[in-house]
């Protein structure tokens, strides 16, 4: 297989906080134009891995390639060019508290395009409708529920229709109907926009619906990284447990 | 509830009663006294009469064992009831002890000095980069639209400047009034009452105006800057900005930096004017000096140099407050409690820095003056 076909490629990544090791020799990839789900028990290092992918953390060793470029070696302007092709949804939303939902979603549009205000507003409305938050467009993050914050954050992440989307548990804590709606949306973005999606998720039902590729982490190590179908027949105890208990 | 007892049964100890949260400190105290008197290296403790145990009870047993071990006594549990044994396996903290750090080691004096030097070096390094970034982006933002938040400068100017005006005005008025009152009594004895105007004009312009405004703004805006930035760090908003290819210094701090740089000199000028007005009130009522002679005296007393001194000071103070406020905000790690601590640290350090810088600047201007002559 041609390695450079993968938009995301991590090899031998080892890292942690202070001197506590969290990721241990992690080598994974996410194929382009597919939905990759990172799963694993709470505290195993999924969020940490995502943060490395957008260089919020510095690895102890190893390499991280996005769009074929080694991001640990890029300078800030070069990396910013890559970041503009990526949408990121944080686990707790991380909406700017001093701005309304609409303003939050418009940040990437305002900063990285030269669209006029009217078009930006329209785009913001569309994105918020996609995540079913059209009614909360002018509210402030402190006035939203946890699930609404996550959805607003997702809207912000997809504001620019980025070719690569990272999401940290977008559907955790949502009711099954809204959650299924988000799954639909993510599938549409893959199929209609050709987006590559990398999500952290625990929801077995949702994983079965949308995942093409899964990465299974356990205590900072990779148990499995490959297509969903193979995961279920790989005969790894913890992976089987996960799918049967879900 | 019956109190738990530790009793001697021959050569052994026995615990009788409940091992639950309310009993923990009681048992610890009794055990401490018993172990104090005990000299044998081995000691059995009969647990058969324990009636109930919870997590705290399990921890208590572990603690007893450890504190006995520290006195070179080995404790053995005997006749452990099944439910106690079960609780001890369920609640013992041993299962996942890999990640938990051991007891902190006492660092040697040298190591601590080394750490301290490292910390100071680290702080200075961070501070230096923050200053460099702030000035770099504040120059860049003058010409580039990208990377800034629209309308934020005006927003901040209102927040920092306009809203601070009433309190700065009031304080300055009172300061002028008090200074005039204090000096009037003295000057009057020499028939030099009119010089109150000179005194207040010069001291307000060169010292009190800039200093009082800076202290008010350090308390008002410096703390607001720190708590806002610290909250953004804690809630990952700064990370989110970075993920959108935006620089938090450029996006969040620079508008505040601009606003402060503009607001501070303006507020200082107002503070000086109002302070002199305060003095005039004393001049008029207590010294019976009319508006015109007072005004003429003020104008003749002030030189351009005094005004420039005051304005230069106010800008330097503004920068100190913004940079220190932001520095304490950006270096917050952890949760909400850290935000409060950072805010306090920011206010204290920026007031100190303002006063320190004032003395340095005073010295510089003074030296400049003497060399001029
Ligand atoms: N800022 C931090 N400082 C120190 N340790 C951290 C920090 N953030 C995370 N950790 C530790 O790193 C490990 C992995 O955390 P991470 O947030 O990546 O887990 P996760 O897989 O995303 O869990 P969850 O499913 O609960 O979100 C955890 O053991 C956690 O305690
Ligand atoms: Mg997580």
Assess B150–A contact: CB distance below 8 Å, yes or no.
yes
- Report, as an integer, the average pLDDT of B158-169: 90
- Residue B24: CB atoms within 10 A of its CB come to 17
Q: What is the pLDDT of residue B96?
A: 47
Q: Categorize the per-residue pLDDT at B112 as very low, low, confident or very high, splitting at 50, 70 and 90.
A: confident
Put simply, whether B175 touches A (Cβ < 8 Å) is no
Mean pLDDT of B42-60: 87
CATH of the domain at B14: 3.30.750.24
Cα separation of the two ends of chain A = 32
Q: Are residues B191 and B130 in the same domain?
A: yes
Residue A81 CA to its chain's centroid (Å)? 18
pLDDT tens for residues B203-236? 999 999 999 999 999 999 999 999 999 999 999 9
Q: Domain of residue B144: give its range.
A: 124-372
The pLDDT of residue B146 is: 75
How far apart are the CA of A233 and the nearest CA of chain B, in angstroms?
A: 30
Does any domain span residue B155?
yes
Interface with A, mutate which of B159, B224, B229, B245 (most A CBs under 10 A): B245
Residue B22 domain-assigned (yes or no): yes
Residue B19 lies in a domain: yes
- Residue A169 has phi, psi (to 5 degrees) of 50, 60
Residue B352 lies in a domain: yes
- Residue B106 vs residue A24, higher pLDDT: A24
Question: Which atom, in ligand 1's list, is nearest to the CA of A49?
Answer: 18
> Which of A83, A90, A95 lies nearest to residue B245, judging by beta carbons?
A83
Residue A241: per-residue pLDDT:
84
Residue B103 in domain: no
Backbone angles phi, psi at A173, to 5 degrees: 80, 10
Distance A218 CA to ligand 1 centre (A): 13
Residue B29 reports pLDDT greater than 50: yes
Q: Is B137 in the same domain as B71? A: no
User: Of B72, B92, B112, at which residue does a domain stop?
Assistant: B92
Contact across the interface for A94 and B147, Cβ inside 8 Å: no
What is the model's pLDDT at position B141? 81
Q: How far is B73 from B67, CA to CA, in rounded Å?
A: 9
Please give the Cα distance from A31 to A213 (Å, whole number): 8
Q: Is B144 on the interface with A (CB under 8 A)?
A: no
B100 domain residue, yes or no: no
Name the E strands within A125-239: 164-168, 196-200, 213-218, 221-227
Residue B366 has pLDDT above 60, yes or no: yes
Could A92 and B245 be called an inter-chain contact, meaning their C-beta atoms sit closer than 8 Å?
no
Interface confidence, given as ipTM, is: 0.89
Q: pLDDT band for position B122 (50/70/90)?
A: confident
Same domain, B26 and B137: no
Question: Which one of B146, B237, B244 has the shortest CB-CB distance to A97?
Answer: B237
Distance A133 CA to ligand 2 centre (A): 24
- pLDDT band of residue B1 (cuts 50, 70, 90) is low
Cβ contacts of B291 within 8 Å, gap of 6 or more: B280, B284
Residue B191: which pLDDT band, with cuts at 50, 70 and 90? confident
pLDDT at res. B115? 82
Pairing of strands A20-31, A6-17: antiparallel
Low-confidence ranges of chain A (pLDDT < 70): 1-5, 246
> In the prediction, which pLDDT does B371 show?
59
The residue out of B71, B92, B113 marking a domain boundary is B92
The CA-atom distances, in angstroms, between B28 and each of A182, A206, B88, B100, B330 are: 55, 52, 18, 25, 44
Q: Quick one: pLDDT at residue B105? A: 59
Specify the pLDDT at position B94.
55
Which stretches of chain B are DSSP H helices?
A: 24-37, 55-70, 82-91, 109-143, 152-160, 165-189, 195-203, 209-217, 223-234, 237-243, 248, 254-285, 291-301, 304-330, 336-372
Buried b (16+ CB within 10 A) or exposed e, A83-100: bbebbbbbbbbbbbebbb
* Per-residue pLDDT band at B98 (split at 50, 70, 90): very low
**Residue in chain A nearest B235 by alpha carbon:** A94
Which residues 182-241 of A have a C-beta within 8 angstroms of B?
none
Which of B92, B112, B136 is the last residue before a domain boundary?
A: B92
- pLDDT value, residue B58: 86
Lookup: tokens for B19:
């091992």
Statement to judge: residues B216 and B355 lie in one domain: yes
Judge whether B212 lies within some domain.
yes
User: Which tens digit of pLDDT belongs to each residue from B135-150?
Assistant: 888 888 888 777 778 8
Structural domains in chain B (count): 2
Question: What pTM does this model have?
Answer: 0.79
Give the Cβ contact number of residue B177 at 10 Å.
18
Q: What is the CA radius of gyration of chain A?
A: 18
Superfamily classification of domain A1-85+167-246 = P-loop containing nucleotide triphosphate hydrolases (3.40.50.300)
Both B291 and B143 in a single domain?
yes
The predicted structure's pLDDT at residue B104: 56
B57 has a pLDDT exceeding 80: yes
Tell me the domain boundaries of chain A.
Answer: 1-85+167-246, 92-161
User: Do the domain assignments include residue B98?
Assistant: no
Region B189-193: mean pLDDT is: 82
Q: Does residue B135 sit in the same domain as residue B45?
A: no
- Identify the bridge partners of residue A222 per DSSP, sorted by sequence position: A217
For residue B97, pLDDT beyond 60: no
Quick one: what percent of chain B has pLDDT higher than 70? 95
**B-chain residue closest to A95, CA distance:** B237
Using pLDDT thresholds of 50, 70 and 90, give the confidence band for residue B331: very high
Is 70 exceeded by the pLDDT of residue B171? yes
Which of A20, A84, A97 is closest, CB to CB, to B99? A20
Mean pLDDT in residue range B306-330 = 94
């Amino acid at each position: 297989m041609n390695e450079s076909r993968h938009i995301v490629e991590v090899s031998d990544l080892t890292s942690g906080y202070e001197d506590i090791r969290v990721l241990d020799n992690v080598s994974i990839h996410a194929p382009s134009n597919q939905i990759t789900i990172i799963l694993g028990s709470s505290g195993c290092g999924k969020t940490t891995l995502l943060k490395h992918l957008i260089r919020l953390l510095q690895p102890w060793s190893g390499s991280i390639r996005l769009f074929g470029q080694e991001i640990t070696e890029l300078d800030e302007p070069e990396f910013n060019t890559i970041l503009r092709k990526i949408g990121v949804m944080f686990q707790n939303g991380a909406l700017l508290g001093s701005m309304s939902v609409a303003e939050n979603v418009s940040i990437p549009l305002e900063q990285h395009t030269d669209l006029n205000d009217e078009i930006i507003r329209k785009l913001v409305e569309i994105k918020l409708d996609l995540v079913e938050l059209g009614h909360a467009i002018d509210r402030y993050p402190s006035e939203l529920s946890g699930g609404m914050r996550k959805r607003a954050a997702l809207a912000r992440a997809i504001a620019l229709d980025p070719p690569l989307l990272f999401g940290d548990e977008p559907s955790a804590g949502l009711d099954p109907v809204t959650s299924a709606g988000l799954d639909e949306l993510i599938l549409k973005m893959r199929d209609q926009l050709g987006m590559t999606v990398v999500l952290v998720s625990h929801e077995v039902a949702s994983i079965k619906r949308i995942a093409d590729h899964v990465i299974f982490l356990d205590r900072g190590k990779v148990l499995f990284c490959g297509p969903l179908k193979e995961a279920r027949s790989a005969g790894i105890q913890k992976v089987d447990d996960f799918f049967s208990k879900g | 509830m019956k109190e738990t007892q530790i009793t001697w049964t021959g050569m052994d100890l026995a615990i009788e009663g409940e091992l639950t949260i309310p009993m923990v400190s009681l048992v610890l105290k009794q055990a401490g006294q018993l172990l104090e008197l005990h000299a044998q290296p081995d000691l059995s403790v009969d647990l058969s009469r324990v009636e109930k145990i919870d997590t705290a009870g399990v921890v208590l047993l572990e603690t007893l064992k450890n504190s006995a071990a520290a006195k070179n006594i080995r404790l053995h549990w005997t006749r452990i009831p099944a439910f106690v044994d079960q609780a001890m396996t369920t609640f013992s903290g041993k299962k996942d002890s890999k990640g938990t750090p051991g007891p902190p080691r006492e660092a040697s004096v040298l190591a601590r000095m080394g750490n301290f030097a490292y910390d100071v070096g680290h702080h200075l390094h961070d501070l230096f980069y923050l200053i460099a970034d702030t000035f770099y982006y504040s120059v860049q933002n003058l010409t580039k639209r990208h990377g800034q938040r629209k309308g934020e400068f005006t927003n901040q100017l209102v927040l920092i400047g306009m809203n601070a005006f009433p309190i700065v005005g009031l304080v300055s008025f009172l300061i002028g009034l008090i200074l005039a009152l204090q000096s009037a009594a003295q000057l009057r004895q020499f028939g030099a009452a009119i010089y109150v105007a000179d005194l207040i004009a010069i001291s307000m312009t060169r010292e009190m105006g800039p200093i009082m405004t800076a202290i008010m703004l350090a308390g008002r805006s410096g703390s607001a800057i720190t708590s806002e930035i610290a909250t953004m760090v804690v809630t990952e908003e700064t990370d989110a900005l970075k993920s959108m290819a935006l620089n938090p210094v450029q996006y969040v701090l620079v508008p505040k930096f601009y606003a402060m740089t503009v607001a501070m000199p303006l507020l200082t000028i107002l503070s000086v004017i109002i302070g002199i007005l305060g003095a005039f009130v004393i001049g008029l009522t207590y010294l019976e000096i009319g508006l015109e002679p007072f005004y003429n005296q003020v104008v003749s007393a002030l030189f351009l140099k005094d005004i420039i001194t005051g304005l230069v000071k106010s800008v330097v103070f503004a920068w100190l407050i913004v940079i220190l406020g932001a520095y304490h905000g950006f270096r917050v790690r952890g949760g909400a409690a850290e935000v409060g601590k950072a805010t306090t640290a920011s206010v204290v350090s920026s007031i100190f820095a303002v006063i320190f810088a004032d003395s340095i600047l005073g010295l510089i201007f003074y030296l400049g003056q003497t060399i001029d002559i």
